[in-house]
Structure 1
Amino acid sequence: MDKDVSEPRVVVGVDGSPSSYAALRWAVRYAGLVGGVVDAVAVWELPGLYGWSAPAVDMDIDEDETRQHMGQELTEVLGADEAGSVRTHVVHGNPADVLLRAAEGAEAVVLGSRGRGGFARALLGSVSQHVSQHAHCPVVIVRTEKQ
């Protein structure tokens, strides 16, 4: 990720959840107000691979196909014009750690209040909570309208 740009960077975590789409829309509006760029970060991990009891799993993840799918999702959420201005990043790793690294030097990091997993009644997802506690830039947590 290019962290040495002259304009402010707004990092947003995107995981396909309604909450992350609300965060994406917020990040684009905010970046427009501050004259910044948006780095949309999608993180994938295979949780069973960590530790000594990792099962044999096919790790053949097609990152180009995933990036293309992400681009289609951004177009559906934002429209073609706005989606074209968003820089997309598909990264393997722990979501909270990847987002914290991506947010280094950013104007802000924007996250949905809940991702794809977790409990429906939880106010914050585990990734949002971890990032909000450890980021070195402002953190914006966006809720969807009906939660």
Structure 2
Amino acid sequence: MDKDASGPKVVVGVDGSESSYAALRWAVRYAGLVGGTVDAVSVWELPGRYGWSAPAVDMDVDEEEARRRMRQELTDVLGTDAAESVRTHVVHGNPADVLLRAAEGAEVLVVGSRGRGGFARVLLGSVGQHVAQHAGCPVVIVRSGPS
């Protein structure tokens, strides 16, 4: 991730879930208050890479298309002007590990309370829990409003 941002760096994880959109909005508001920059990080990984018991899947991932979709997603959530002020990063890897690396030197790491996983009733997802325990900066966990 870029280390050349002037002012405080705010890193936010975006995974397409409602709570990640709430985290994104929170991060943009906070960065505006402290004169910081926002790095929105979207992480993709292939099944079979990190201890999954199924055989590895050979999938072609169009990273340029993923970046374009993320840019559109930010525009849909924030509006054009605010979205243009957010730096985007689409990264392959384990989501918790990538977010922890991206947050090195950051003012704050912002994540949604839970992602798109199948456990709808959990209050805190595994990525949020992991980064809260291991980040070298403050972590803000944002819950989305009622559906």
1:59 aligns with 2:59: yes
TM-score w.r.t. length of structure 2: 0.94
Report the counterpart of residue 5 of structure 1 in structure 2. Answer: 5
Question: How big is the shift at 1:6?
Answer: 2.6
1:51–1:111 distance in 2 versus 1, CA, 3 Å: closer
Where do 5+ consecutive residues of structure 1 fail to align?
Answer: none
Other-structure match for 1:25:
25
Cα deviation 1:94-116 (Å, max 9, x = unaligned): 00000000000000000000100
Aligned length: 147
Which runs of 5 or more residues in structure 2 are unaligned? Answer: none
Match of 1:142 in 2: 142
Q: Does the C-alpha gap of structure 1 residues 24 and 53 become closer, same or farther in structure 2, counting only changes over 3 Å?
A: closer
Aligned residues: percent identity? 81
- TM-score, with length taken from structure 1: 0.94
Query: What SS does the aligned partner of 2:87 have?
Result: strand
Change (3 A) 1:47 1:57: closer
Q: RMSD value over aligned CA atoms?
A: 1.5
2:121 paired with 1:121: yes
1:118–1:125 CA contact under 8 A, matched in 2 = no
Q: Partners in 2 of 1:114 and 1:129 — Cα distance? A: 9
The question of whether the paired residues in 1 share the 8 Å contact of 2:47 and 2:57 is answered with no
Residue 111 of structure 2 aligns to a residue whose secondary structure is strand
